[in-house]
Amino acid sequence: MIRQGIRTMIQRSGVPVEVIIECNSGDKALEILKNQKVDVMFTDIRMPKMSGIELVQKVQELPEQPIMIAVSGYADFNYAVEMMSMGVREYILKPVERDKIQAIMKKLEQEITQNQESRRTSNRIGHQQLKYLMLNEQVTEEELSTMQEEYESEFELYDYYVCVSNPKEWQAFEESYIYLHNVENNDVYLVTDKNMQMLLKNEFAQQYVGVSAIHSGIRELGIAYREAVEARHHAFCTDRRNFYVEEIGTGLATDFYEQGKEMISAEKKQQRVQLLGTDKTEELVRTWERFFHVVKNGWITPADFADCMDDFFAEIRRTYRNMLDDEEEKLKELADYYGSPVLTVWQEAFMEWILALHERINDRFDTSKNQQKIKQAIEYIQENYDRDLNMAVVSNRVSMNYSLFSYLFKEVTGNNFVNYLKGIRVEEAKKLLAETDMRIVEISAKVGYDNEKHFMRIFKATCGVSPSEYRRNAQMH
């Protein structure tokens, strides 16, 4: 009852508290403290299995210790004095008074807030120093020694990896790694060896990340960062998640390098420019697809890829400068190759843009012929939406290159293929729900979904209600 009373007083103190955990013994409290961070602990002195004095003694051994408040009767005052000598902050006599709890809570809130702000300030300063070390190869011995003394132990820079990914808009701070946002347009993580596998399974599970070799000490930070950047470029180009620097240049046959060399020759570079503005749209698309195939297979280096694209953008600026006045922002976005998570994503944006430019400058572009093919594709989708359809199937059906079909389909319909097909299927499902008594699993199959749960998720995401709710609403009207 006393424990529940203290809980109520804390809740009514006016101080925001995330969670209050109650324990009926000291050993249960210790188990919680070992497994999660706790800001404040109120403990009695007399408890079953483990006394408050034993609990406080054991808390001293933990890496993170809460602020501790002792609660007990007057007869235990000598014990309370002993506990305060071990770090207990306050001592409250029973019966516990609400005003006393409120005063302590407000005092602790101010202290915790100040400590958090102080840590944030310290981290910001420390993070700036870490960035400085990463980006400057000519760091003096004096600077290195100073930073080593101040930050090496604070940030646990022993047996660590540097990991680099494309920048994200926002990233939560995690205590299992050091996070540095937007370092040379990269997001950087410093991860200890013991936490690396956990990070790969969680934060990095869906990312394309470059990983350095394992390093130790602040002096190796610059080397580790440059390794991670190089590995990140390989992860981007080869569509590989978690690319380690040690994997660069391993296991590729000489003849593949020769093919790659040919693709970055001056002749091939010129060909990719010259195909723009001709009637050879299919060849233009195939040429770029071959180039990206070479990049993804690692037959040329990321540096070669960037050089080729830099040369291409420079050449079309010279050749078509009068047509690119309103394209500057898009060109800058495309020139930031590693701002995208992976080459496949960047390639899609690039091909959409290059085909749009090609259409504008090609006065012999056979618009009517291609629009007729898209019209045939739309008719085919409308007649066969209940089958296993995808863009490859439909583009082959109308004998059109996949990338060109993707671009023109969106131009004509105002929607991409996946969303267009989804729209037709959902509209047909709505009709069947309203006008028939077919079961939902039957409707799912009827409109082209062999997985009922997948159909239900798509329907709810599109219509805002489940199929059952939609049917009920339709029948009411």
List the 186-192 sheet strands across, edge first: 178-183, 186-192, 160-165, 210-211, 243-244
pTM score, two decimals? Answer: 0.55
What is the CA angle 325-329-334, rounded to 5? Answer: 115
Q: Chunk the chain into consecutive blocks of 10 residues (it has 477) and report each block's average pLDDT, rounded to whole numbers.
A: 91 92 92 90 89 91 89 74 84 89 92 75 70 84 80 75 84 69 88 86 85 91 94 94 87 70 90 84 92 92 94 87 80 91 94 89 61 90 92 89 80 90 95 92 93 92 93 82
Task: Tell me the DSSP string of 231-250.
Answer: HHHHHHHHT-SSEEGGGTT-
Q: What is the pLDDT of residues 338-369, one digit of tens each?
A: 989 999 999 999 999 999 888 877 644 456 67
Tokens representing residue 266 in the block: 């001056």
55-91: per-residue pLDDT in tens? Answer: 999 998 887 889 999 888 766 677 777 888 888 888 8
- Classify 154 in phi/psi space as left (phi over 0), alpha (psi -120 to 50) or beta: alpha
Nearest CA among 313, 129, 339 for reference residue 221: 129
Q: Tens of pLDDT along 28-41?
A: 999 999 888 899 99
Q: How far apart are the first and last CA of the chain?
A: 56
